[in-house]
């Protein structure tokens, strides 16, 4: 099987499994316990926090471990917006892009439905880019928080986060970015990016599902979502997932070391794959930005097909990928992300996303491009019969 669905999830890396194993077995203590087992667990958690902080270029106290990217996004959106409005009732708006992951989009909608916030949705251009002009136009004196994803999970477009964060900072508005897809592929230094908050998910990086991080700048107040024993400096109660934190820290550290080399290699393979698919399938459309895109994502529409049928035909030929995002998989509705890029609903329904791990090879992608040609040919043939 050729696995081209890494944006949905990745296998746990051996080094990560080995690093986390002691905290699932012999060193199984609760970090809050006042005995040697508890202290060993607390030390491991502190080590993981310091390692994540090193990659992000922040202080360890600014790192909150969560149960994944979804929780990190929820904590950022709800936690920051509610804390800021608590301090100043006039701050009752949030700004997000039109192509956010549901973890951000639904959190913003919750703020609207339940807490009376207004959500300002920043449009994107046909490549999925948020322009600085459109972003600046959405920022108001009442904006409690702006959240623009670093890289999109369906089309791979990478946003000009530095520039956008600077626009928010100039207005005193905290800026959050969902870096779940960017982590492992793009630089994550939070000072250089100029962001106030950033979300990461472990399972996109070779750590297990159910591990994540929210970076939030020290001075930012966050209203917790989960109440209890006050772990994670009161930001996220609940006995810590020590093994998960160690796993995420290990995966993130390895990814940061490998990132420049692997990103360059995979970008070349991605571009060759895009050329091969566009040549092999007449009428195929590359979605997202032609250059400002994740090294690991090639996404297309194949007009005249249905994305789901192409997926089935590809799987019969040994290639596993996804129609749009895993979260929307199985739904017949065209992807809101593709509609926001201005694609017709009929075309958006024909989307297929190929996403690569860093281990992908030229040979696999050559085989995959041939499988795409045959799969699309077969679906169109079936349609004509
Ligand atoms: N944000 C983006 C951009 C994602 O792609 C995903 C997962 O696909 C998430 C957030 C959610 O992360 P998790 O699966 O860890 O909850």
The domain boundary, picked from 254, 289, 306, lies at: 254
Q: Tens digit of pLDDT for each residue in 113-147?
A: 999 999 999 999 999 999 999 999 999 999 999 99
Residue 184, both tokens: 């492992």
Q: Which atom of ligand 1 is nearest to the CA of 326?
A: 8
The domain boundary, picked from 235, 254, 273, lies at: 254
Of 12-26, 183-197, 230-244, 312-326, the one with minimum mean pLDDT is: 312-326
What's the average model confidence in pLDDT over 5-20?
98
User: 70 CA distance to ligand 1 centroid (A)?
Assistant: 6
Residue 369, both tokens: 């491009």
pLDDT averaged over the chain?
96
264 close to 274: Cβ distance less than 8 angstroms = no
Residues 17 and 19: their CA atoms lie apart, in Å, by: 5
- Residue 381 banded pLDDT, cuts 50, 70, 90: confident
Q: Tens digit of pLDDT for each residue in 361-379?
A: 999 999 999 999 999 999 9
Q: What is the chain's length? A: 385
Strand pairing partners for 158?
151
The domain boundary, picked from 254, 272, 300, lies at: 254
- Is residue 71 scored above 90 in pLDDT? yes
What's the average model confidence in pLDDT over 307-333?
82
Same domain, 108 and 245: yes
DSSP string, 61-113: GGEEEESSHHHHHHIIIIIIHHHHHHH-TT--EEEEETT--HHHHHHHHHHHH
User: 180 CA distance to ligand 1 centroid (A)?
Assistant: 6
Mutate to test the pocket of ligand 1, among 181, 335, 355 (most ligand atoms within 8 A of CB): 181
Same domain, 243 and 263: no
Same domain, 235 and 356: no
Please report the pLDDT score of residue 219 as a whole number. Answer: 87
Mutate to test the pocket of ligand 1, among 96, 201, 328 (most ligand atoms within 8 A of CB): 201
Same domain, 195 and 330: no
Same domain, 57 and 193: yes
Which residue, chain included where needed, has tokens 């160690």? 246
Between 304 and 384, the more confident residue is 304
Same domain, 205 and 87: yes
CB-side exposure of 80: number of CA atoms within 13 Å? Answer: 32
Please report the pLDDT score of residue 325 as a whole number. Answer: 53
- Is residue 183 scored above 80 in pLDDT? yes
Please report the pLDDT score of residue 382 as a whole number. Answer: 74
Same domain, 240 and 285: no
Q: Which atom of ligand 1 is nearest to the CA of 203?
A: 15
What's the average model confidence in pLDDT over 196-216?
98
Please report the pLDDT score of residue 384 as a whole number. Answer: 67
Same domain, 33 and 59: yes
Please report the pLDDT score of residue 353 as a whole number. Answer: 98
Residue 112, both tokens: 């609207």
Same domain, 306 and 353: yes
| Whether residue 58 lies in the annotated active site | no
Same domain, 179 and 279: no
User: 99 CA distance to ligand 1 centroid (A)?
Assistant: 13
Residues 122 and 134: their CA atoms lie apart, in Å, by: 6
Name all residues whose Cβ lies below 6 A of ligand 1. Answer: 68-70, 73, 101, 103, 149, 153, 178, 180-181, 201, 203, 212, 326
Instruction: Report the CATH number at residue 204.
Output: 3.40.640.10
Task: Catalytic residue, from 58, 301, 321, 327: name it.
Answer: 327
Please report the pLDDT score of residue 385 as a whole number. Answer: 60
- Residue 295 banded pLDDT, cuts 50, 70, 90: very high
Of 10-19, 81-90, 316-325, the one with minimum mean pLDDT is: 316-325
Range of the structural domain that residue 270 is part of: 2-6+259-383
Which residues have CB under 8 Å from 109's CB, separation 6+?
119
Same domain, 196 and 270: no
- Residue 331 banded pLDDT, cuts 50, 70, 90: low
User: Whose C-alpha lies nearest to ligand 1, atom 10?
Assistant: 69
- Is residue 332 scored above 70 in pLDDT? no
Q: Tens digit of pLDDT for each residue in 27-49?
A: 999 999 999 999 999 999 999 99
Same domain, 215 and 307: no
DSSP class of residue 123? P
User: 2 CA distance to ligand 1 centroid (A)?
Assistant: 22
Instruction: Report the CATH number at residue 377.
Output: 3.90.1150.10
- Is residue 330 scored above 80 in pLDDT? no
Q: Tens digit of pLDDT for each residue in 148-175?
A: 999 999 999 999 999 999 999 999 999 9
154 close to 351: Cβ distance less than 8 angstroms = yes
Q: How many domains does the chain have?
A: 2
What's the average model confidence in pLDDT over 238-249?
98
- Is residue 326 scored above 70 in pLDDT? no
* Residue % of the chain over a pLDDT of 90: 95
118 close to 93: Cβ distance less than 8 angstroms = yes
- Residue 323 banded pLDDT, cuts 50, 70, 90: confident
Residue 382, both tokens: 């079936």
Q: Which atom of ligand 1 is nearest to the CA of 212?
A: 15
Give whole-number Cα distances, 322 to 5, 126, 302, 347, in Å.
6, 21, 13, 16
């Amino acid at each position: 099987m050729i696995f081209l669905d890494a944006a949905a999830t990745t296998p746990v890396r051996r080094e990560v499994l080995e690093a986390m194993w002691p905290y699932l077995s012999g060193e199984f203590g609760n970090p809050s316990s006042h005995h040697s087992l508890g202290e060993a667990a607390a030390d491991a958690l502190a080590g993981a926090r310091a390692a994540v902080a090193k990659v992000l270029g922040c202080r360890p106290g600014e790192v909150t471990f969560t149960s994944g990217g979804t929780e990190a996004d929820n904590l950022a959106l709800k936690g920051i917006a509610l804390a800021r409005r608590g301090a100043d009732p006039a701050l009752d708006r949030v700004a997000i892009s039109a192509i956010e992951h549901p973890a951000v989009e639904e959190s913003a909608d919750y703020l609207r439905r339940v807490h009376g916030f207004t959500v300002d949705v920043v449009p994107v251009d046909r490549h999925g880019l948020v322009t600085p002009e459109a972003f600046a136009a959405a920022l108001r004196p009442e904006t409690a928080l702006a959240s623009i994803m670093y890289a999109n999970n369906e089309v791979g477009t990478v946003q000009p986060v530095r520039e956008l964060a600077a626009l928010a900072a100039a207005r005193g508005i905290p800026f959050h970015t969902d870096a779940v897809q960017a982590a492992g592929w793009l630089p994550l230094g939070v000072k250089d990016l100029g962001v106030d908050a950033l979300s990461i998910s472990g399972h996109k990086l070779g750590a297990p599902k159910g591990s994540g991080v929210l970076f939030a700048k020290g001075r930012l107040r966050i209203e917790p979502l989960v109440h209890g024993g006050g772990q994670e400096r009161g930001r996220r109660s609940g006995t810590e997932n020590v093994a998960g934190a160690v796993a995420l820290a290990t995966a993130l550290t390895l990814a940061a070391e490998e990132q420049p080399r692997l990103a360059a290699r995979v970008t070349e393979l991605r571009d060759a794959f895009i050329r091969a698919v566009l040549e092999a399938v007449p009428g195929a459309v590359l979605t997202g930005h032609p250059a400002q895109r994740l090294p690991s994502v090639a996404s297309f529409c194949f007009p005249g097909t249905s994305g789901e049928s192409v997926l089935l035909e590809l799987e019969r030929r040994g290639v596993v990928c996804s129609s749009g995002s895993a979260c929307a998989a199985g739904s017949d509705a065209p992807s809101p992300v593709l509609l926001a890029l201005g694609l017709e609903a009929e075309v958006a329904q024909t989307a297929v996303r190929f996403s690569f791990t860093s281990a992908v090879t030229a040979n696999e992608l050559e085989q995959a491009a041939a499988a795409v040609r045959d799969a699309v040919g077969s679906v169109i043939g079936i349609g004509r019969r």
